[in-house]
Amino acid sequence: MSLRPTVDFLLHDWLNVESLQSRERFADHSRETFDAVLDTCERIAREKYAPFNRLVDTQEPHFDGEKVILPQATHEAYKAYAESGMLSAAQDYEIGGMQLPYTVEAAANAFFAMASVSIGSGMLTSGNANLLMVHGTDVQKKVFAANEFSGRFSGTMCLSEPQAGSSLSDVMTRATPDGEGFEADALGPRYRLKGNKMWISSGEHELSENIIHLVLAKIPDANGQLVPGVKGISLFIVPKKLVDTNGQLTGERNDVALAGLNHKCGWRGTTNTLLNFGEGKYPVRGDTGAIGYLVGKPGEGLRCMFHMMNEARIGVGMAATMLGMAGYYASLDYAKNRPQGRPTGAGGKDASQPQVRIIEHADIKRMLLAQKAYSEGALALALYCARLVDEQHTGTAQDADVARLLLEVLTPIVKSFPSEWCLEANSLAIQIHGGYGYTRDFPVEQYWRDNRLNMIHEGTHGIQAMDLLGRKVLMEKGRGLQLLAERMLATAAKAETAWGPEAAALRDALKQVGEATQQAWAGAEPAQALANAVPYLQAFGHTVIAWIWLDVACSAASDQSPAAQGRRAACRYFFRYELPKIGAWLNVVKSRDPTCADLPKEAF
């Protein structure tokens, strides 16, 4: 099985990505240049990632007291990815980028996520550098971002602390001005940071010359108190090793120490760390405290960080999607080869007949179709959102604004739908393998373990749900939701002739979501409205994916190839087996059902 025909169909036949060539920024690009990028990424993923996915799972990162040791294969994959130029693919030519549309970049990165999600493709590094390109000073861009784009340095995002996960307003890392003239440092106002950061991905390793941590911390007020809430949070660049204004290492180790590695259920090829900032293990310039350079203005840290988090959320959704896809392909291959059982004929089963391959059984087909519907639907949504990112950056002012609002509403979905349903796809992939799927002799149990992370990081499922129902569908007087509804209704109109029942079902689903949104808030009590935010997120996500499938199916209308037949079947499957679930989810939202919220903790 190859992912490429699906990617090509979605990019070209469905999203018409070539149309972006009419934009000045992408004028040098063509189908050939897009294909060349996809070819390169497909090859590197095949050669440097896929063969080592099991190895990085079994040879977990370990700390020898001085260094974190990763398999040689990870070093080689990191090098090949950096050399491919993908870290700076979307950047301007002047700084060594390719000015590649984000849609193509996202599609190209999908190959790495499918081959080995935990070897990783530099999402944190390019996200970190992209943030600095927007919020950093010219010197910060040159010294830190440019060296991240080249792969010489790598990046992290340090938000979480042991006592502050979902609730970032409780961050306790402190940043105090670093002596006289702290404001005049060429790398940015210089502070000393002290605190602990938990769960930091790629927080320590030897893959790159330096690690650039982007750290959220609070600057105490005049009385030495930390300002409560997110308003007090600022953002700092904290390099593991200090650098001069040319980006050269000064030879000084910053006061950032690895306190320990977390040993995870999955995604084991990536180090995950507890980092101590400023505890004095590596005193620097005669003092304790990690040296950090302010990015943007004091108190605007979370706003700046959101730049990285939104990108990261599309990236997380894509990772979950590709794990779903990997399990689908593995179980499809297995189902085509595993003989077991006989079909039930008119007179029952005939034991004298040879066994059939399990793909002949209707229940196996159901599980394959479910995986296809979840994973390919999620991939189409991720690429649709990536196309909106390109619109936001290169469209007319009006189109860019529409794209921005659509992205606001769709970001919780592009992150959460695959995290939940492509995980379910991985569970179905295990089921298709029977007992073998539960062993480590087949890859599907690893896919499930790797995928289990995605509902937890980058905002848990519950937090995404509250963001959607509590903020995104209400913002700007519900305009984002209205714009999305307009797009869905346009698809329903287009599908009317060939897909009449599905078009009607989509309209009805949209009506139900709209009513539920209003009724959730009819009591005006946020606690009541949001008590059932997760069922709302599930119903919203299913409505979005139904829309995406109907739109995709319209593009495949006249195509009689087996691939097009499969797409139409996945669309039908989604409308018949999945979309009807939204009624149950939305009932509790509409009635603001208090069953969960009102139960006293003693009753559990």
Ligand X SMILES: Cc1cc2nc3c(=O)[nH]c(=O)nc-3n(C[C@H](O)[C@H](O)[C@H](O)COP(=O)(O)OP(=O)(O)OC[C@H]3O[C@@H](n4cnc5c(N)ncnc54)[C@H](O)[C@@H]3O)c2cc1C
- Residue 310 binds to ligand X (criterion: CB under 6 A): no
Determine how many CB atoms are found less than 10 A away from the CB of residue 244.
11
Cα–Cα distance, 81 to 116 (Å, whole number): 13
- Residue 165 binds to ligand X (criterion: CB under 6 A): yes
The answer to whether the Cα torsion of 49, 55, 60, 61 is positive or negative is negative
- Residue 157 binds to ligand X (criterion: CB under 6 A): yes
Residue 218: burial class (beta carbons within 10 Å; 0-12, 13-18, 19+): buried
* DSSP SS3 for 5: helix
Q: Which range, of 178-186, 194-202, 437-445, 521-529, touches ligand X by CB under 6 A?
A: 194-202
Contacting ligand X (CB under 6 A), which of 201, 271, 532, 555? Answer: 201
- Give the nearer residue to ligand X in terms of CB position, either 166 or 248: 166
Residue nearest to ligand X (CB): 165
Q: Which range, of 51-59, 159-167, 253-261, 390-398, touches ligand X by CB under 6 A?
A: 159-167
Three-state secondary structure of 96-109: CCCCCCHHHHHHHH
Residue 17: burial class (beta carbons within 10 Å; 0-12, 13-18, 19+): buried
Residue 357: burial class (beta carbons within 10 Å; 0-12, 13-18, 19+): middle
- Residue 166 binds to ligand X (criterion: CB under 6 A): yes
Q: Which range, of 19-27, 111-119, 460-468, 476-484, touches ligand X by CB under 6 A?
A: 460-468
Distance of CA 379 to the CA centre of its chain: 11
Beta-ladder partners of 153:
210
18 classed as catalytic: no
Q: Which range, of 126-134, 196-204, 553-561, 593-601, touches ligand X by CB under 6 A?
A: 196-204
Tokens standing for 69? 């040791």
CB 546 within 8 A of CB 574: yes
- Residue 457 binds to ligand X (criterion: CB under 6 A): yes
- Give the nearer residue to ligand X in terms of CB position, either 199 or 328: 199
Q: Which range, of 279-287, 359-367, 455-463, 546-554, touches ligand X by CB under 6 A?
A: 455-463
- Give the nearer residue to ligand X in terms of CB position, either 228 or 500: 228
- Residue 512 binds to ligand X (criterion: CB under 6 A): no
- Residue 205 binds to ligand X (criterion: CB under 6 A): no
Name the one residue in this structure whose structure tokens are 């599907």. Answer: 444
CB 130 within 8 A of CB 89: no
- Residue 158 binds to ligand X (criterion: CB under 6 A): yes
- Residue 319 binds to ligand X (criterion: CB under 6 A): no
Contacting ligand X (CB under 6 A), which of 48, 135, 264, 307? Answer: 264
φ/ψ bin of 25: left (φ > 0), alpha (ψ from -120 to 50), beta (otherwise) = alpha
- Residue 463 binds to ligand X (criterion: CB under 6 A): yes
- Residue 200 binds to ligand X (criterion: CB under 6 A): yes
DSSP state of 287: B
Pair type for strands 290-295 and 190-201: antiparallel
Contacting ligand X (CB under 6 A), which of 150, 160, 310, 538? Answer: 160
- Give the nearer residue to ligand X in terms of CB position, either 44 or 305: 305
Cα–Cα distance, 590 to 592 (Å, whole number): 5
* Catalytic option among 458, 476, 496, 602: 458
- Residue 272 binds to ligand X (criterion: CB under 6 A): yes
Minimum CB distance to ligand X, residue 164 (Å): 7
Q: Which residues would be at the binding site for ligand X (CB under 6 A)?
A: 156-160, 165-166, 199-201, 264, 267, 272, 453, 456-457, 460, 462-463
Residues labelled as active-site residues: 458
